[in-house]
């Protein structure tokens, strides 16, 4: 929001004069009340840092445009070296209690591995496991919350840049992982420059700009730098992708 405001793009914030060091001054809560407050202040386009799952209040709001991702378009593709883990074998999943090292080997998975929910926000619920005991313990904890689990050797995602006269497939690797995983929060902030290494995508659009956040660049932001864009350039291009939510909102 600070980057948009600094580049003369009209924005609406929770408070009229947001303080630079207070994150929550710049955003509205991801609740029905928070969305109503944004609309009451004149918001026409909402930038949602979430997937529009069925019960999300944005599915029922009367607004013009939104930047987000429909849950129906957010589907996991079948990938090699990964298995689904569940409490039962429903939908092709492996039952947690029946998984052995042989199960992993037959699916070309070797420990250490990554266990993650099929759907979630960023690295939330994602954990590197070094042993079968750790794998089952973390999977059990996730399943108790109703999640469907994906066990794989590496966490791989893809950044999609808008069409243009450039290579959109920049390869990114983040250093300073926390226990083998890119942290969900600022628990292990980057201290050095990133290196181009692997294809990745971050749902959020964090970027440097606001004082105190000069090194807070998401992997998508780093990809934008790779094609010569600044962070504001990326935000402007993303804003152009906003779509009318009235085509998709649920009927009450």
| pLDDT digit string, tens, across residues 3-16 | 888 889 899 999 99
- Residue matched to tokens 């000069």: 214
First to last CA, the chain: 32
Tell me which residues of the chain have a pLDDT lower than 70. 49-83, 86-88, 90-92, 118-124, 145-160, 162-204, 244-252
In which residue ranges of the chain is CATH 3.30.1490.20 found?
82-152
DSSP state of 98: G
Q: Which CATH number fits domain 82-152: 3.30.420.40, 3.40.50.1220, 3.30.1490.20, 3.40.50.300?
A: 3.30.1490.20
Angle between helices 231-239 and 219-226 (to 10 degrees): 100
On whether the CB atoms of residues 201 and 159 are closer than 8 A, the answer is yes
| pLDDT digit string, tens, across residues 42-52 | 888 888 766 66
| pTM of the model as a whole | 0.56
- Sequence-distant (6+) residues with CB within 8 A of 65 are 44, 45, 46, 242, 243, 244, 245
User: Which string of DSSP letters, residue by residue, matches 43-80?
Assistant: -SEEEEEEEE-TT-GGGG---SEEEEEEGGG--PPP-S
| Three-class DSSP category at 195 | strand
On whether the CB atoms of residues 97 and 140 are closer than 8 A, the answer is no
User: Are β-strands 45-52 and 195-196 bridged in parallel, bridged antiparallel, or unpaired?
Assistant: unpaired
| pLDDT digit string, tens, across residues 161-208 | 766 666 555 555 555 555 555 554 444 444 444 333 334 444 457 787
């Amino acid at each position: 929001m600070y980057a948009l405001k600094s580049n003369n793009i009209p924005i609406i914030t929770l408070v009229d004069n947001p303080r630079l060091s207070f994150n929550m001054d710049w955003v509205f809560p991801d609740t029905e009340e928070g969305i109503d407050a944004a609309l009451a202040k004149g918001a026409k386009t909402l930038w949602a840092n979430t997937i529009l799952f069925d019960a999300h209040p944005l599915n029922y709001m009367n607004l013009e445009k939104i930047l987000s991702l429909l849950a129906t378009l957010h589907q996991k593709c079948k990938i090699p070296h990964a298995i689904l883990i569940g409490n039962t074998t429903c939908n092709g999943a492996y039952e947690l209690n029946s998984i052995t090292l042989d199960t992993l080997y037959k699916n070309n998975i070797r420990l250490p591995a990554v266990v993650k929910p099929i759907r979630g926000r960023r690295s939330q619920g994602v954990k590197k496991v070094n042993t079968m005991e750790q794998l089952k313990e973390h999977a059990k904890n996730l399943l108790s919350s109703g999640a469907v689990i994906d066990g794989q050797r590496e966490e791989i995602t893809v950044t999609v840049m808008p069409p243009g006269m450039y290579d959109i497939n920049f390869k990114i690797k983040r250093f300073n992982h926390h226990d083998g995983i890119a942290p969900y929060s600022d628990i292990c902030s980057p201290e050095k420059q990133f290196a181009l290494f692997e294809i990745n995508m971050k749902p959020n659009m964090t970027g440097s700009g606001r004082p105190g956040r000069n090194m807070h660049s998401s992997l998508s932001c780093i990809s934008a730098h790779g094609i010569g864009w600044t962070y504001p350039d990326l935000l402007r291009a993303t804003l152009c992708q906003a779509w009318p939510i009235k085509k998709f909102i649920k009927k009450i």
